[in-house]
């Protein structure tokens, strides 16, 4: 399958912010896009490594069709090489055991399972962009919502190209320092992620952020304070932001796991800074799992793991005071 967003004159792949120049016979950083006789080919199209029904809260997405099922779809490859990747068998290996599927197969699986959406996830969806694009177009025509679970290292061209067919962007804001992105994520940079986050917000797409808290690496008070200040200045206080606890894995098994106190400290900073919807993940945290009305304080959505109840929501609004709640309900 011929790749999108390739400049054949300069041999530049304009899909992600690495903008790899790929000579004939070579592959990009992601290892799944190859220049064959001057044409950039995607090596992941239709090659599916996972396709199954999940609660949408697993993504995590808390303000996007809460309490519903989403069909999760993945392939293989990534434009990052994160040392702590929890899906490294998909992101860092060329999977020859992937199962072939047409876009219609994914949409039919979602319809048959009564899911309300399709999520592109597990490995970085940017590197199986063409398949995601075709599935998303079909999904929209079938009345399904779509979500991409991404590291956010997409170019402006890619975000604008996919946005008509994508309802939700769940973006990792892995840290708020270039040094973290360079050393932990394989020579990446922070700025392109921030640019993509701002663009998604400007395009009025549903947006949720996730920051995995790694003790001693991205959780200093100064760094978290800078992150929150940037977020409030550029996005406002309404974007759900999930602060999740790190578990040692892959090439960072020597780091200690984040505990309740680590993520609670960041959660408290987010609340004190004025975020309306900070959340906690990967540890039990009743307050950090609950959605409250920003106007009257009513408990709107109660969650236990991936199970949620919405006693305080009526037609996307607070049942008590009537305030509209940000999100897609």
Mean pLDDT on 254-278: 98
Lowest mean pLDDT among 12-16, 80-84, 148-152, 304-308: 304-308
**Phi–psi pair at 94, nearest 5 degrees:** -85, 100
CA 287 to mean position of chain CA atoms: 23
Nearest one of 152, 276, 125, 287 to 210, comparing CA atoms: 152
% of the chain at pLDDT higher than 70:
100
* CATH, range 44-289: 3.20.20.70
Look at residue 95 in the predicted model and tell me its pLDDT: 85
Mean pLDDT on 15-35: 97
DSSP 328: B
Q: Find out whether 64 and 168 touch, Cβ atoms under 8 Å.
A: yes
Write out the two tokens for 120. 């592109």
pLDDT digits (tens, 9 = 90+) for 199-243: 999 999 999 999 999 999 999 999 999 999 999 999 999 999 999
In this structure, what is the dihedral angle of CA atoms 76, 280, 52, 72, given to the nearest 10 degrees? -50
State the pTM of this model: 0.98
Look at residue 94 in the predicted model and tell me its pLDDT: 86
Look at residue 121 in the predicted model and tell me its pLDDT: 98
Look at residue 96 in the predicted model and tell me its pLDDT: 83
Write out the two tokens for 297. 């304080």
Distance CA 92, CA 76 (A): 8
pLDDT digits (tens, 9 = 90+) for 93-141: 888 889 999 999 999 999 999 999 999 999 999 999 999 999 999 999 9
Look at residue 288 in the predicted model and tell me its pLDDT: 98
Number of H helices, E strands in the chain: 8, 19
Q: Find out whether 255 and 217 touch, Cβ atoms under 8 Å.
A: yes
């Amino acid at each position: 399958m011929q790749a999108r967003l390739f400049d054949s004159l300069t041999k530049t792949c304009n899909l992600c912010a690495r903008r790899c120049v790929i000579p004939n016979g070579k592959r990009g950083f992601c290892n799944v896009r190859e220049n064959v006789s001057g044409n950039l080919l995607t090596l992941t199209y239709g090659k599916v490594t996972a396709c199954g029904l999940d609660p949408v809260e697993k993504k995590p997405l808390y303000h996007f069709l809460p309490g519903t099922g989403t069909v999760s779809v993945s392939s293989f490859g990534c434009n990052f090489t994160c040392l702590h990747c929890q899906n490294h068998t998909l992101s860092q290996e060329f999977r020859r055991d992937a199962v072939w599927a047409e876009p219609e197969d994914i949409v039919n699986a979602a319809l048959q399972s009564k899911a309300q959406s399709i999520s592109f996830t597990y490995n970085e969806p940017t590197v199986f962009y063409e398949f995601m694009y075709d599935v998303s177009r079909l999904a929209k025509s079938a009345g399904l919502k779509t979500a991409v679970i991404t590291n956010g290292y997409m170019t402006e061209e890619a975000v604008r190209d996919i946005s008509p067919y994508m309802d939700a962007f769940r973006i990792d804001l892995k840290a708020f320092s270039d040094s973290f992105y360079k050393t932990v994520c394989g020579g990446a940079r922070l700025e392109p992620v921030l640019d993509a986050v701002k663009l998604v917000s400007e395009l009025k797409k549903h947006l949720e952020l996730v920051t995995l808290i790694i003790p001693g690496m991205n959780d200093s008070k100064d760094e978290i304070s800078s992150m929150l200040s940037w977020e409030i200045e550029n996005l406002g206080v309404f974007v759900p932001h999930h602060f999740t606890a790190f578990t040692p894995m892959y090439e960072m098994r020597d780091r200690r796991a984040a505990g309740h106190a680590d993520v609670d400290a960041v959660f408290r900073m987010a609340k004190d800074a004025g975020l309306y919807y900070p959340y906690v993940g990967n540890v039990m945290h009743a307050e950090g799992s609950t959605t409250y009305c920003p106007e009257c304080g009513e408990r709107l959505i109660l969650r236990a793991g991936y199970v949620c109840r919405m006693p305080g929501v009526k037609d996307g609004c607070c049942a008590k005071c009537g305030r509209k709640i940000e999100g897609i309900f």
